[in-house]
Protein backbone atom coordinates (compact mmCIF):
# COMPACT_ATOMS: atom_id res chain seq x y z
CA UNK A 1 0.00 0.00 0.00
CA UNK A 2 2.89 2.37 0.68
CA UNK A 3 4.06 2.19 -2.94
CA UNK A 4 0.56 2.96 -4.19
CA UNK A 5 0.23 5.93 -1.86
CA UNK A 6 3.64 7.24 -2.92
CA UNK A 7 2.62 6.92 -6.58
CA UNK A 8 -0.59 8.87 -5.96
CA UNK A 9 1.22 11.63 -4.09
CA UNK A 10 3.88 11.87 -6.82
CA UNK A 11 1.17 12.04 -9.51
CA UNK A 12 -0.78 14.75 -7.71
CA UNK A 13 2.29 16.86 -6.93
CA UNK A 14 3.21 16.65 -10.61
CA UNK A 15 -0.26 17.89 -11.51
CA UNK A 16 0.08 20.75 -9.03
CA UNK A 17 3.45 21.69 -10.52
CA UNK A 18 1.98 21.76 -14.04
CA UNK A 19 -0.94 23.91 -12.88
CA UNK A 20 1.34 26.40 -11.13
CA UNK A 21 3.41 26.74 -14.31
CA UNK A 22 0.25 27.90 -16.13
CA UNK A 23 0.31 31.22 -14.26
CA UNK A 24 1.77 33.89 -16.61
CA UNK A 25 4.13 35.13 -13.87
CA UNK A 26 4.51 34.99 -10.11
CA UNK A 27 2.40 38.09 -9.44
CA UNK A 28 -0.69 36.24 -10.68
CA UNK A 29 0.11 33.36 -8.36
CA UNK A 30 -0.39 35.68 -5.37
CA UNK A 31 -3.33 37.70 -6.73
CA UNK A 32 -6.72 36.85 -5.24
CA UNK A 33 -9.48 37.08 -7.83
CA UNK A 34 -12.81 38.45 -6.57
CA UNK A 35 -14.95 35.76 -4.99
CA UNK A 36 -12.06 33.44 -4.10
CA UNK A 37 -10.99 32.99 -0.48
CA UNK A 38 -7.31 32.17 -1.20
CA UNK A 39 -4.63 32.73 -3.80
CA UNK A 40 -3.16 29.86 -5.80
CA UNK A 41 0.20 30.49 -4.15
CA UNK A 42 -1.27 30.28 -0.66
CA UNK A 43 -2.99 27.00 -1.46
CA UNK A 44 0.25 25.58 -2.89
CA UNK A 45 2.19 26.62 0.22
CA UNK A 46 -0.15 24.64 2.41
CA UNK A 47 0.26 21.50 0.35
In the chain, domain spans:
2-46
> Could you tell me if 40 and 29 are in contact, meaning their C-beta atoms sit under 8 angstroms apart?
yes
1-45 pLDDT per residue, tens: 899 999 999 999 999 999 999 999 999 999 999 999 999 999 999
Distance between alpha carbon 47 and the CA centroid of its chain, in Å?
A: 7
Residues whose CB falls within 8 Å of the CB of residue 27, separated by 6 or more in sequence, listed in order: none
pLDDT for the residue numbered 1: 86
Q: pTM of the full predicted structure?
A: 0.76
pLDDT for the residue numbered 2: 96
Burial class (CB in 10 A: 0-12, 13-18, 19+), 43: middle
Amino acid sequence: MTKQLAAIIKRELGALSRELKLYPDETYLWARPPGTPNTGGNLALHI
